[in-house]
Amino acid sequence: MRINLISLFPGMFRCVFEESIIHRASCKGIIEIRLIDLREFGLGTHRVVDDAPYGGGGGMILRPEPIARALESLPERGHTILTTPRGGLFQQEDALRLSLETDLTIICGHYEGIDERVNALFVDEELSIGDYVLTGGEIPAMVIVDAVVRLIPSVLGKDTTATGDSHYAGLLEHPHYTRPRSFRGLAVPEVLLSGNHQRIRQWRDAQSLEKTRQMRPELLERSLPETRPHDPGKKKP
């Protein structure tokens, strides 16, 4: 998978993507991450990328020309996402769907937002990671990339590793235990020491259901679709 990240602050990504699983996936050639500095496509000698909003109001708006130039400089941009507080809430089903893409481009919003014409011409999907406002779209982009990349086959080393994660099948994950068998008066459940794989699987399923009922009961009321339908009327140039 090729992932393009368009940002005014591409340096924010380096410390995150040069560590752990994403770094290993990149070294193995499973993913290729391109960091595109939006400022390089700015206007004039001062590389201007923003301007005051028509109609008045506080803050600045990212102009459409630099973003369009950055997008059109890419050999392939594939499915194009804008990170914005008004976007649909990013969930595990989205991560699964996006992990099937060959090319993925994320535009990191900033300031008061971007010119709406960028959405009309280039953006396939707007995503948010929660009902709160951050200083920019870089952190949401990191979250999206991390959640997507770990679902790509062979990234985690075992194709089945991610299937037991919380939210993968619509439920929270079961509890985990490791050594020592007893810690400050709390012992590992005996079933996990039994060696009976059927009983262990049944216990984990029951615990997953109970954890979900206790902590996120609303998850029991919804199923996890494999895909979220795209707007068939929206096309990229």
Domains contained in the chain, CATH given: 2-149 (3.40.1280.10), 171-221 (1.10.1270.20)
Q: Is the pTM of this model over 0.75?
A: yes
Predicted pLDDT of residue 236: 57
114-171 confidence digits (pLDDT tens):
999 999 999 999 999 999 999 999 999 999 999 999 999 989 875 445 555 545 567 8
CA atoms within 13 A on the CB side of 71: 24
Contact predicate 159/104, CB 8 Å: no
Q: In the predicted model, is pLDDT for residue 235 greater than 80?
A: no
Predicted pLDDT of residue 215: 93
Please compute the mean of the pLDDT values over residues 171-191 and round it to a whole number: 93
* Ordered strands of the 32-37 beta sheet: 32-37, 2-7, 103-108, 79-89, 125-128
Task: With CA atoms as reference, report the closest residue to 169 among 133, 203, 214, 209.
Answer: 209
Going by pLDDT thresholds of 50, 70 and 90, the confidence category of residue 111 is: confident
Active site residues: 85, 112, 150, 165
Please compute the mean of the pLDDT values over residues 196-210 and round it to a whole number: 95
Predicted pLDDT of residue 83: 97
Predicted pLDDT of residue 156: 86
Going by pLDDT thresholds of 50, 70 and 90, the confidence category of residue 221 is: confident
The phi-psi region of residue 123 (left if phi > 0; otherwise alpha if psi is between -120 and 50; otherwise beta) is beta
Q: In the predicted model, is pLDDT for residue 225 greater than 50?
A: no
* Per-chain mean pLDDT for the chain: 90
Percent of the chain scoring above 90 in pLDDT: 79
